[in-house]
Each structure stands twice: as C-alpha cells, then as structure tokens.
Structure 1
C-alpha cells in the first residue's frame, strides 16, 4: 500500500478535525475514507465557537453594538472575575483545564500573586510516574503507557492540594444536575463536569472505549447552547440535552460537577506543606518506597522505575510469550499497538511531551519560590534532561516499522528505556535526599 511521506502529519491533522484516534485517522487516510458527518459537524462547531468568541471580543472593543443582556445576573464590580483563558499550549490536560478554571475564579499562588500555573497544579496532582501494560484481545493487542502520576486520584489531589474552595456535587437526577450547573454559571464561574467520551456529539463513539471518561469545563452560554472547553483550543457548543446524555452515561460519580465559588487562595504555609506532601508521594511511587494503593502486589513491577526496567526486559525478550517480539508478531497488531503507544506518549491525558518531565522541572523551579524550599531548584535540571530523553524514546516509536525488523526496533527502545530508568533513579534518589532535609519528620 502506497504511503504518503508525511503520513504522520496528515494523520494528526485529521485527528484534530475528526476526533478519530491516530490509528483510525491513519487507516482512513490510507484507504481514502472520507471524513464522516460527525467530523463535518465538529468542524462547523469549532467555526461557530470561534465566531461566538470573535463577537464577544468585538463587543468589548466597541466595534459592535451590544446585544440585550443575558438573563443571568452579572457579577458586581467588586466581584468581577478575570476572563476565561484560552485553552492553548497545554502540556497536561487536567492540570491545564483546572489552571484555566482557577484563573477565571481569581485563585492565585500566594508566593507570587499570579494565577496557579499548569506546572504547579500538575505537580500538586502528583506530577510524574510510570505504568506499562499490554492486553491481548481477539482482534487487537493493546499497549498502554502512563507517564503521569498513577494510580493516585490525580484530579482529586489537585483540587485538595490547591487550597482553593471547591464546590463538588453528584446527583442521580439529571434535572437536579442541570440546576446545579445553572447556579454555578449564574455566578459567573466555569463548571467542570465528567462525561463519557463516546457520548459527545463530536466524537465517533465506535473509536473510544465505552468506559472512557473526560472532564470538561462549561464556561458559559451562547443562545441555546452551552460552550465547552474540551482542551481542543476552541470552545465547542453543545446542547443541554446532549451534555445531560453524556453526563448520564458516567455511572460512577453520576452527574459529578465541581466549580470554584470564591477567590479564596491557599495560605503560603498551606501551599508549602502541600507541595512537600506531593513531591514526597511522587518520589516514593517512582522509587517503589511508597505503597501503591489498590494495586495487587504482583503488578507492582509494572509501576515506577521498577516498571521501566520490566518494560526494557520485555522489549529485549525475543523468545518467550511475554516478550514484545512475540506479543506483536502479527503485523496488524504491531502497527496498532505501536500507534497506541505513541498516542499515549504524545497525548496530554495520561502522558505528555517529554513524559511530562519538563513540566515537572518547571514545577520544582516554582516550588523553590516558596519559603524554605529553595533547594528544590537544584533538581530541576535533572528532570529537564529527562524530558529530552523521553522525547528521544517517543521519536523511536514507529507504527510503520517493517515487522521483520521489529526486534531491532524494540532493542533500541529497550536501550533508551534503560538509560531513562537509570537517570530517573539518580534524579529521584537525589531529590529524596533533599526532601529528607526539608521535611525531617516526614
């Protein structure tokens, strides 16, 4: 099958337009499959949202007459809130989402007086980690890699350690959920809701797992629609009924929502303590000195630095059924598995650019501005270098590799993974030494 020289670029551009996975976008380009009606609607929705934003911007500059005021009461001048930030240049999806929500609510970092950054929130959530799993199904073999903190509750840690006042609600009633949402929007705040990904109108449901969920920020209303921040870079319109349906499919924490009702920011000493707690937990997870709650003991070697060594061994193994050479002997499973692996490493949900290590370096630099935590800045360079190492690994992953040379590819990946594991251990061990001096009682 003839392949365009810029196939990867074309596939990613199609992913942006259609919401398809990398594998599906690539396959559809190769087979000349036209973009479906949902893709057309998604593109139209993005244009619609852009027009709505441009209209609001024009109103503020006086270029257009203002329309009749919305029925929801506007905040008084004393309560006026910052404008909701544009969702651009995000490294980690959930931390980026909550950075925008907290910024719009007026919550700040007490050390700087500035909004709490994506890097700070990502670090408070747990920052970095590692997990790798493969599962063989009837038609496909999956390859999952997670480079953010795992398995701790990422978003809940972020919210708790941010020190902001958070109003969380769950309800079995769609009607009551809509009332809760309206109440928060009437207060001029963005609201984060949890939905089933496949139930969103702009997503092809056949391309995502039925159980996959995502948090979205509802930032306001436009005519009869709600405007949604889904991290795509533009606000997407969605009808209240479509949103209710997507929320209802989330069986656990049904109709969950969270919003920030006040500007209350953490006290300096509280944020300092929470930073130390977060770094200590992250470091313990990586080094294997902290308990992995909810994870069976026999799976512990898939997590942290131990997991990195385990993966390197499986990559090098060319003879047993646990080795990747045997697991991915079938060409279709090989291509799909590597595409999925690359997606995990470059997507912003469970991984991110440079394995999120660069973002963690930024976090340590910011934490060094807190009283007594200045020594943390000394460790930022280690994680900045690790970011480059993770980028090198992600660039090795080639879904189009010739199946006959897959063992050689896996061998190169194993060598790089071992280099990363050794560097991760050095960095985490050095950081543990600093933590012991900053928090002797911990």
Structure 2
C-alpha cells in the first residue's frame, strides 16, 4: 500500500482533530476513512480513561487482576445530536438501571411524562418482583440462592419487548463479525450492550466467580486503543477490544450477543399502558401461583412465589429432617458460607436488591398510575413500601458469623419473618389482582 511521505504528520494532525490513537489515525488515513460520527465521539471521550488505564498498569501485581481506577463520566457527545450518556450511578436493580441509561442516551421517553424511562418503570416492565429459593449440596460447599426479582421469566428480554423502543439485537459465532457489528452501532453514536462472561473481565478475579456467570455491559465509547464500558460500578472502565472480545466469546449461549437502540422512537400511550398491564398481571400471577412457570418442572414449582416463601419458612423451622436448614447447614463452614451467599443475593442488585426490590415496585406502581385509566394502581404502592421494610428486616437477620450451636434459633426467627412477609405478599397481590380486574385503560 502506497504511503504518503508525510504520513506521520498527517496522522498526528488527525489525532488532534478526532482523538483517535496514532495507530487508528494512521490506519484510517491509509484506507481513506472519513472523520465520521465515531471520530467525533472519540474526541469527546479522549480524556476519559488515560488516568484509569495508567493506574491499572501501575497497580498490576503477580497473580491478581486489579480493578482499574474508574474513568470519569463521559462528556456530552455531539454525535447525531444525541443526549448525553448518563453518568453511571448507584442503582437498585442492575439491568433496569443499565437500560435506563442506554434508553436515555438514545432519546427514548415515557409518553406520559416526556421524561426518560425510569429505572422503576423498566424494572416493572421486565417483571418486577418475584421469589425463588434453592439450596444445593456439593462436595465442599452448600449453596443458598434466593432471587427476589421476577423469575424465571426472561427479565431483560421482557424489558426490551415491553419498553416499546426499537431494539437492534445481533448474535454471531464470529468474533470478527461481532467487532464489525459493534463498530457499526458505535458509528451511529449509540451505546451498545454486550453480554460477557464475568470471570473473563480483566478487573475480576476469575477464581471468585462461577465460570458460567454472565453480565451485560454497555460499551459507551473509546479512548485511544481502549473501549469504555459501563459495568454499573459508578464510573466507566477501560478495556481493550481484545479483552472484551475474549469475554464475549466465552458465552456459550447467545455468542457475541449485542443490543442497541437505533432511534428515538418511543412507545405510544396505548402501547405502554397495555404493556404495563401485561407485566403487572404476569408478575401477580407468578407470585400467587395462578400463572404457569414455563420451563420449571412441577416438583420445583413450590420453590417459587408466595408458595415458595411458605415452603422456605417450613424448611427454616425444620430441625430434624435432611431437608431442614438445621441439618443442611450443620457443618460450621457450610453454614457461614451459605449465609454469606444468601446475604449477598439479598443485597446485590442483579437478582435481588434493597428491600427485596419491593420499594422499587412501589415506585413502578406510582408511575403507572400516571397512565390514562391506571390511576387506581397508586393505591397499592403503600403495600409494597411496607413490604420493602419487612424484607430489609429479614436481610438484616442473616448472620454469617452466627454461633453454629444457635443456628436453629436464627433460622426460627427468619422463618417467623418470612411467614409475615408471605402473608403480607399474598394480601398485597390479591388486592392488586382485584384492581387489575376492574381496570379499563382510557386511551
């Protein structure tokens, strides 16, 4: 390929204009690539990650993958006159918070208010709240898993379907093609959501997470040779394209999946209202056990919803059988590890959250009441605010440092609280079901 005699000078001048790295600028000059929206975005992003990347390199120690110092929140991007990508902040539910930021940057709004779709609204559309509890005994550990968000329905897919925005989704077995899809979306000035294996991320110690655990990240821009991703930590993280590609490739299902919002198209009031009613009806049916749990064997159905809450309370109280928690967690190490895991699930934002996500659901019902014909939903918000406090009380009871000899007493207290919650959940869901039966959207 013929090279201009002053290629180095041209490359450095382009670097100044676009914020591209020297290598990228040089390559783009050689292939005669115009300085399009991606170059403009790169210029806006050029100072985001340098300090973070330098800190990451300086902090590297043998045998450990340190988390880099976060990059600052992005400056407004002039590409396609899009709204600024919101600075990542603390959220109650990880996926709903992530998509709130992505949809906000795309300009999608709530037709009832003209404002961006809130985390609460998106969480409710995704399915909102639920319950599941499982324990599994392995050779060296007994796991305790609790989920207080909607489950087992496809949470993110429900969110994307019901939010009413236009969504471009892609999967491919080719890493090269995946990179092309990512570049195309970024060239359009849009944030792109990708799905990765958690343990393959450079700032995660792989031995501390399950090999199959995955998470969605948002690619929001680039700086020099790095991509900038929003991982929900509160700031942007720099990651090399090769590291991101490797983390995406470890996904065995939906390989190299990505999704982005190509336009500002927002749902109509009629569509959003219908989707809200569908979501609430499904959530309520799953809690009350009146809606089928697709894909769940019949003998596991009693681990879900309000029936699952009562069943867990019984196992917490059971001190004599092999299924009771007193016997399951007789070993002190299994007890401590199991309760630590349980507390983590109840306080983490992926599958649970503060107050069992019931406070967020109360906010959702309040927002839904602003839609035509759905005003009565606001009357039920108080029930879920109270339930939020009840779930907080339960999470504060979980003590990984409990004296093993007193574990039965702890489990009995937890069982009493779980029964109170289950009874309140049933009253709240039954009352909400009665209201749903009377609603006639005025759209």
**Please, which moves more after superposition, 150-159 or 15-24?**
15-24
Return 145-154 or 40-49, whichever deviates more. Answer: 40-49
> Unaligned 5+ residue runs, structure 1?
none
Q: Is the 8 A contact 2:111 2:267 kept in 1?
A: yes
Provide the rounded CA distance (Å) in 1 between the counterparts of 2:302 and 2:83. Answer: 46
Q: CA deviation at 1:33?
A: 51
> Cα gap change, 1:227/1:139 in structure 2, threshold over 3 Å: closer, same or farther?
same
1:14 shift after superposition: 42
- Bigger Cα Rg: 2
* Residues 1:85 and 1:268: Cα distance change in structure 2 (over 3 Å): same
> In 2 relative to 1, CA 54–112 (structure 1 residues): closer, same or farther, beyond 3 Å?
farther
Change (3 A) 1:343 1:16: farther
Tell me if structure 2 keeps the 8 A contact 1:19–1:204.
Answer: no
Deviation, structure 1 residue 357: 0.1
Query: For the structure 1 residues 32 and 274, does the alpha-carbon distance in structure 2 shift closer, same or farther, using more than 3 Å as the test?
Result: closer
RMSD: 15.1
Q: Find the aligned partners of 2:12 and 2:404 in 1 and give their Cα distance.
A: 23
Question: 1:319-366, CA deviations, whole angstroms, 9 ceiling, x for partnerless residues?
Answer: 000000000000000000000000000000000000000000000000
Whether contact under 8 Å (2:373, 2:441) holds in the other structure is no
Distance verdict in 2 for CA 1:93–1:299, change over 3 Å: same
Provide closer, same or farther for how the CA distance between residues 367 and 33 of structure 1 changes in structure 2, counting only shifts above 3 A: same
Provide the C-alpha distance between the structure 1 equivalents of 2:75 and 2:409, rounded to a whole number of angstroms.
Answer: 62
Judged with a 3 Å threshold, the aligned counterparts in structure 2 of structure 1 residues 205 and 322 are, in CA distance, closer, same or farther, namely same
| Cα distance per residue 1:375-402 (max 9 Å; x no partner) | 0000000000000000000000000000
Q: Flag structure 2 segments of 5+ consecutive residues without an equivalent.
A: none
Task: Please identify, of 386-395 and 3-12, the stretch whose mean Cα deviation from structure 2 is larger.
Answer: 3-12
Residue 66 of structure 1: CA displacement? 29
Q: What is the count of residue pairs matched by the alignment? A: 442
Comparing 250-259 with 49-58, which one deviates more in the overlay?
49-58
| Contact 2:194/2:258, CA 8 A, preserved across alignment | yes
Q: 2:241 — aligned with what? A: 240
Equivalent pair of 1:193/1:258 in contact (CA under 8 Å): yes
Question: Using a 3 Å threshold, how does the CA distance of structure 1 residues 17 and 409 change in structure 2: closer, same or farther?
Answer: farther
1:45/1:237 contact within 8 Å kept: no
Aligned to 1:18: 18
Give me the whole-angstrom Cα distance separating, in 2, the residues matched to 1:56 and 1:180: 28
Distance 1:57 1:253, change over 3 A: closer
Q: Judging changes above 3 Å, is the alpha-carbon distance between structure 1 residues 68 and 234 closer, same or farther for their aligned structure 2 residues?
A: closer
Quick one: distance in 2 between partners of 1:421 and 1:7?
Answer: 70
After superposing the two structures, state which structure 1 stretch, 63-72 or 116-125, moved more.
Answer: 63-72
Q: 2:221 aligns to what SS in structure 1?
A: strand
Task: For 1:230 and 1:31, locate their aligned partners in 2 and report how far apart those are by CA, in whole Å.
Answer: 33
The change in CA–CA distance for 1:4 and 1:128 in structure 2 (over 3 A counts) is farther
Change (3 A) 1:63 1:84: farther
What aligned pairs does 1:28-177 form with structure 2 within 5 A after superposition?
49=49, 51=51, 79-177=80-178
Q: Which moved more, 1:98-107 or 1:82-91?
A: 82-91
Change in CA separation of 1:42 and 1:289 when aligned onto 2, cut-off 3 Å? farther
Larger deviation, residues 69-78 vs 266-275: 69-78
Distance 1:438 1:195, change over 3 A: same
Structure 1 residue 78: Cα displacement: 9.4
- Aligned to 2:217, what secondary structure does the other structure show? strand
**Distance in structure 1 (CA, Å) of the matches to 2:414 and 2:8:** 20
Which deviates the most, 432-441 or 163-172?
A: 432-441
Q: Give the Cα–Cα distance (whole angstroms) in 1 for the partners of residues 15 and 310 of structure 2.
A: 32
Deviations 1:302-324 (A, max 9, x none): 00000000000000000000000
Equivalent position SS for 2:66: coil
The answer for the alignment partner of 2:360 in structure 1 is: 359
1:404 match:
405
Tell me which moved more, 270-279 or 69-78.
Answer: 69-78
Rounded to whole Å, the distance in 2 between the matches of 1:142 and 1:28 is: 52
Normalised by the length of structure 2, the TM-score is 0.83
CA contact (8 A) 2:66 2:202 kept: no
Contact 2:44 2:76 (C-alpha < 8 Å) held by counterparts: no
**Structure 1 residues 260 and 35, CA, compared in 2 at 3 Å: closer, same or farther?**
closer
Distance 1:332 1:34 in 2: 61
Distance verdict in 2 for CA 1:71–1:439, change over 3 Å: closer
Q: CA deviation at 1:89?
A: 2.2
CA contact 2:284–2:429 (8 Å) conserved in 1: yes
Tell me: CA distance 1:39–1:141, structure 2 relative to 1, closer, same or farther (3 Å). farther
- Alpha-carbon distance change, 77 to 19 in structure 1, aligned in 2, over 3 angstroms: closer
1:314–1:121 Cα change, 3 Å:
same
- Structure 1 residues 97 and 49: alpha-carbon distance in aligned structure 2, compared to 1, 3 A threshold: same
Q: In 2 relative to 1, CA 331–34 (structure 1 residues): closer, same or farther, beyond 3 Å?
A: farther
8 Å CA contact retained: 1:20, 1:203: no
1:329 is the counterpart of 2:330? yes
Change (3 A) 1:415 1:77: closer
Distance 2:433 2:7 in 1: 44
Preserved CA contact (<8 Å) 1:11 1:26: yes
Q: Determine the C-alpha separation between the residues in 2 that align with 1:416 and 1:13.
A: 66
- Which 10-residue stretch deviates more, 63-72 or 430-439? 63-72
Contact kept, 8 Å, 2:136 with 2:144, in 1: the verdict is: yes
Q: In structure 2, the residue corresponding to 1:129 is in which secondary structure? A: strand
The range that moved more, 44-53 or 399-408, is 44-53
The answer on whether the counterparts of 1:225 and 1:240 sit within 8 Å (CA) in structure 2 is yes
